[in-house]
């Protein structure tokens, strides 16, 4: 990662908070309201995957009365990674300088977003972290916490990246950071998408900062976590880690 002391960071520019949704009708209005209160100057892009429960319609109604809310209607459920990538591209095309990832279910506290944005003034990417001092989770069963901690530890050790919470999804990117990560080559979905982007940022030499957050388990709606998501993360991270070590070994052999 780059030493922050070796470079000067420009102003952040306009902030776009991207909120992917699929069947979040009960959550979308409260989370939009909280973001607008926490960071009044920020804009919000609801990226809806054609939710059967009418989430997209509710988002349209919010956008009709608030010029800081936008809606990106997608054809169907294609996964978290695809929704964020579409949101990133939309935001970059429309001139936003900061792109923020945030869940719709309230697990990411909008009130903590100013802390991420302050840290981004001296960084390329800021991660809201559950596993650094001061970070915590609320209302999680021990099995879920062990799975998340274990996934981050496994990814960190296998990939060799100095990030404590590799799988977390509350993040703030500078536009230039995203543009350097080769988004067209990102095919991972689910929580593996978060590992992929963090790994790419570190490999590209970006200055990545973690700030503590409180992660609160959703109160309404269904979690999108599934065995398929866990399985994808496991095999992709393993493949990346083994491939990276093999490449380094070949490089040493030819020097």
- Tens digits of residue pLDDT in 112-152: 999 999 999 999 999 999 999 999 999 888 888 888 888 88
The alpha helices in the chain, defined as continuous H runs, are 28-38, 55-65, 80-93, 113-120, 142-159, 175-179, 190-203, 227-253
**pLDDT at 1 (0 to 100):** 47
The DSSP bridge pattern shows strands 98-101 and 171-174 to be antiparallel
Band of the pLDDT at 156, cuts 50, 70, 90?
Answer: confident
Q: Is the pLDDT score of 251 beyond 70?
A: no
Report the SS3 class of residue 159. Answer: helix
Question: In 219-249, which positions are buried (b, 16+ CB within 10 angstroms) versus exposed (e)?
Answer: eebeebeeeebeebbeebbeebbeeeeeeee
Give the integer Cα–Cα distance in Å for 132 and 143: 19
- Tell me which residue has tokens 């908070």: 17
Q: Which CATH class is domain 4-253?
A: alpha beta
* Average pLDDT across the chain, whole number: 88
Q: How sure is the predictor about 255, in pLDDT bands with cuts at 50, 70 and 90?
A: very low
Token pair recorded at residue 42: 């920020």
Q: Does pLDDT of 218 surpass 50?
A: yes
Q: Which pLDDT does position 11 carry in this prediction?
A: 94
Quick: pLDDT tens for 33-90: 999 999 999 999 999 999 999 999 999 999 999 999 999 999 988 888 999 999 999 9
State what percent of residues in the chain have pLDDT above 90: 65
Provide the residue ranges of all domains of the chain, joining segments of one domain with +.
Answer: 4-253
Nearest CA among 44, 16, 14 for reference residue 30? 44
pLDDT of residue 252: 52
pTM: 0.86
Task: State the pLDDT at residue 142.
Answer: 86
Cβ–Cβ < 8 Å for 13, 98 = yes
| Residue 116: both structure tokens together | 């991420």
Give the model's pLDDT for residue 254.
Answer: 42
CB 188 within 8 A of CB 232: yes
**The pLDDT of residue 223 is above 70:** no
Give me the percent of the chain exceeding a pLDDT of 70: 82
Q: Which of 137, 206, 203 is nearest to 175 (CA)?
A: 206
For the beta carbon of residue 9, count every other beta carbon within 10 angstroms. Answer: 14
């Amino acid at each position: 990662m780059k030493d922050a002391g070796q470079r000067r960071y420009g102003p952040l520019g306009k902030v776009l908070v991207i909120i992917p949704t699929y069947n979040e009708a009960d959550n979308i209005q409260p989370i939009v309201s909280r973001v607008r209160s926490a960071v009044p100057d920020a804009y919000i892009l609801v990226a809806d995957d054609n939710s059967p429960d009418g989430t997209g319609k509710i988002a349209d109604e919010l956008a009709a009365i608030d010029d800081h809310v936008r809606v990106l209607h997608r054809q169907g459920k294609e996964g978290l990674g695809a929704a964020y990538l579409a949101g990133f591209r939309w935001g970059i095309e429309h001139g936003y300088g900061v792109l923020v990832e945030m869940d719709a279910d309230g697990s990411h506290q909008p009130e903590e977003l100013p802390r991420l944005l302050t840290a981004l003034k001296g960084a390329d990417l800021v991660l809201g972290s559950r596993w650094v001092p001061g970070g915590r989770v609320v209302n999680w069963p021990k099995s879920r916490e062990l799975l998340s901690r274990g996934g981050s530890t496994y990814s960190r050790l296998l990939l060799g990246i100095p990030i404590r919470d590799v799988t977390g999804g509350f993040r703030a990117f500078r536009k230039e950071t995203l543009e350097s990560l080769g988004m067209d080559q990102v095919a991972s979905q689910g929580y593996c998408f978060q590992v992929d982007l963090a790994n790419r940022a570190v490999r590209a030499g970006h200055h990545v900062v973690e700030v503590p957050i409180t992660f609160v388990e959703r109160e309404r709606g269904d979690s999108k976590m599934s065995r398929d998501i866990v399985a994808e993360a496991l095999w992709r991270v393993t493949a990346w880690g083994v491939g990276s070590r093999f490449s380094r070994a070949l490089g040493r052999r030819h020097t």
